[in-house]
Amino acid sequence: MYENNQKIERPSERPRKNDLLLEEEFESHHRMRWIVITLVLAAIIGLGWLFYPTLSQTPAMMAQFPGLQKSFGEVSSRVTATEAKLQDWLAGQHELQQSVADLQKETESRFRYARKQAGELRAELYKRIHGEVLAQTQVLETKVAKLEAKSESDQALIEKLQTDLAALRHETDKQAAQLDGVHNQIEHDGANRDQQFASINNQVGRESRDVQDLSQKLAVKRVDFEVTRNHSQDLGDGISLGITGTDVSHRRVTGWMWVMPDRRTVWLHDQGAQQPVVFYGVRDGKRKELVITNVTRDSITGYLLLSA
């Protein structure tokens, strides 16, 4: 059998590490929420102490404090809603990690069972063939020993028996080679199992990256636009879009984008609808994405995604 000297992290250790990281992130958000609430309370108390003489002389200004209390209540409600969403996300991550751990356990159990069955089959096959060959060899060797004691007239029979013995030994070597082939096949199957297990780990990693990409895509600002042909329009965040031509039959447009403060132009040559144009800011490195949704003879519509 083969040996694997590479250190493999146990599947049960990865969910535990992820749980610790998620709990630390949740505690950090929880502490930040109370720090914000404490700062707001301190600001309200400081403002009350600073403007107390004026408030005591002008009772009409006291009516503004319910508004501040209402604002404070809205801030607390938003913080609570954000915390609930974070807990739901953490619960989803726990379920995903548990599913991956169950899949890994099932794969490992099946692999161990297959290796055990293959080993038992190989041992049983080897034992049976070895016993049969040994029994036949002993019978032939006994016959040869008896014939050697006879007269020279039996020499031809002895040579025939020796030829049969050589053929039997050749067959024994052939069966041994077949056993080696079975052993190599078992080793190859084990290597394939290792590759499948590595492929599962890679797939889990890709799914985790997809979850991260989805989280990043959700944290964007969408700006819808409609630009007339041979005109330009400011889309916000220092980005302007100009359209010089449209192809309604193929749903393609030609134009340009002017990106500030990078002071650079992104050209659009036969840009198709529903084909995102992704670009990054040179200074801030933020991702931006332009998507054209509809093309008419005189105008186009679409949206621009900006990082929040």
DSSP string, 111-128: HHHHHHHHHHHHHHHHHH
pLDDT, position 74 = 76
CB within 8 A of 284, min separation 6: which ones?
none
Kindly state the tokens that stand for 17.
């590490």
- Asked if 240 and 258 touch (Cβ cutoff 8 Å), the reply is yes
Distance CA 201, CA 291 (A): 34
Give the E-state strand segments of the chain in sequence order: 220-228, 231-236, 239-247, 252-259, 264-272, 277-280, 287-295, 299-307
Distance CA 278, CA 209 (A): 19
- For tokens 């200004």, the residue is 61
Q: Considering the entire predicted model, what is its pTM?
A: 0.33
Kindly state the tokens that stand for 35.
């720090």
Distance CA 133, CA 51 (A): 107
pLDDT digits (tens, 9 = 90+) for 150-178: 767 778 888 888 888 888 888 888 888 88
Angle CA 65–69–70, to nearest 5: 115
- Asked if 185 and 201 touch (Cβ cutoff 8 Å), the reply is no
Number of residues written out for the chain: 308
Distance CA 131, CA 125 (A): 10
**Phi, psi (degrees; rounded to nearest 5) at 3:** -120, 140
Domain extents in the chain = 8-218, 220-307
196-208 residues labelled b (16+ CB within 10 A) or e (exposed): ebeeebeebeeee
Dmax (CA) of the chain: 144
pLDDT tens across the length of the chain (308 residues): 444 454 445 555 555 666 666 667 667 766 777 787 888 888 887 776 776 565 555 555 555 556 656 676 776 787 788 778 878 887 887 788 888 788 888 888 887 888 888 888 888 888 888 888 888 888 888 887 777 777 677 788 888 888 888 888 888 888 888 888 887 888 787 777 778 767 876 876 777 677 666 665 566 889 999 999 999 999 988 899 999 999 999 999 999 999 988 889 999 999 999 999 999 988 888 899 999 999 999 999 999 998 86
pLDDT, position 43 = 81
